[in-house]
Amino acid sequence: MAALNHYLILSGVLFTMGVAGVLLRRNVITMLLSIEVMLNAVNLSFIAFGHFLGSADGQIIVFFVVTVAAAEAAVGLALVIALFRHLETLNPDAFRQLRG
Amino acid sequence: MAHNLVFFYGFAALAVVSTLLVIAQPNPIYSVLLLILSFVALAGLYVMLDAPFVAVTQIIVYAGAIMVLFLFVVMLLNVSHEHAVADNQAASDGGGPTVRWFGAILAGVMAVELVWALNRSRSVGAALAGAERETAWSVEEIGRILFTRYGFAFEATSVLILVAMVGSIALAGRHLSGKKAWRR
């Protein structure tokens, strides 16, 4: 039986990969995907704690996280489309002036 | 029970490898598809953690809706390898490999720190032993808790979704009515 710390370490590794994606990649869409990776890593630790505490609260919080992720993806991708229409690039270094 | 551990390591390896490839992939379309694979592996882990409803939600909402939205945007913007190369060139006059190495080292340090800290949580797991339930949580139980104890948060979420919808239409859909209509 996999213990709590197995799940927590997996969650930490996935979270770090998300951080690495945001730090290393120079593509706004991949950076948004990395944020999704981080949210999922946190979800995994919520579910693991919920299971090992014998409580449903972890699962409920995961539903709210998924909802927030959906809202974040919708607004983030709308921003990406608006920026791409202006500057024809997805490189965040190109977005230096945001005065419209 | 060793059986269970085999499944854990299988799903964990699948999740870690596909997430690594998401980060390493130059083409965003493959990144999105690999991230779906990673979400499926996580859904398998949720089933092992007695949360089958969350696993199904993960597949339907995350893999089915959010990732399809990402895929739509990637294909709409038509970002291919050429753009990736141009972006890398643009990055080299902005930050360059030094900044990239700094980011990689920061991420590595964070990984080591997290694994070290979480490995010490073994005693927490031992202290909690016996608290877990024998059966999986049913949809009925989760729905009862969601609509009673977390009813306010649920309603607030609906407002959040509405705000996100209005915001994304205002940001991305301004060409629908023409720029003049937007300025007015």
Amino acid (one-letter) located at B3 = H
The nearest CA of chain B is from the CA of A35 a distance in Å of: 11
Q: Give the CA distances from residue B29 to residues A61, A65, B36, in Å, rounded to whole numbers and listed in that order.
A: 30, 24, 11
What pLDDT, on the 0 to 100 scale, is given for residue B130?
Answer: 73
Has residue A40 been placed in a domain? yes
List of chain B residues whose C-beta atoms are within 8 Å of the C-beta of residue A59:
51, 53-54, 137, 142
Has residue A99 been placed in a domain? no
Residue B106 CB contacts under 8 Å (≥ 6 apart), including other chains: A19, A23
Name the stretches of chain B with pLDDT < 70: 1-2, 79-96, 174-184
Has residue A100 been placed in a domain? no
Q: State ipTM.
A: 0.90
What percentage of residues in chain A have a pLDDT greater than 70? Answer: 96
Angle at B88 between CA B87 and CA B93, to 5 degrees: 100
Interatomic CA distance for residues B41 and B7, integer angstroms: 10
Interatomic CA distance for residues B14 and B122, integer angstroms: 24
Structural domain boundaries enclosing A22:
4-94
What is the end-to-end Cα distance of chain A in Å, rounded?
A: 55
What pLDDT, on the 0 to 100 scale, is given for residue B177?
Answer: 53
In this complex, the residue of A2, A26, A52 whose CB is nearest that of residue B131 is A52
List of chain A residues whose C-beta atoms are within 8 Å of the C-beta of residue B151:
none
Predicted structure pTM score = 0.86
Assess contact for A21 and B23: CB atoms under 8 A.
yes
Average pLDDT over residues A57-79: 92
Has residue A37 been placed in a domain? yes
Has residue A56 been placed in a domain? yes
**Domain of residue A26, CATH code:** 1.10.287.3510
What pLDDT, on the 0 to 100 scale, is given for residue A10?
Answer: 92
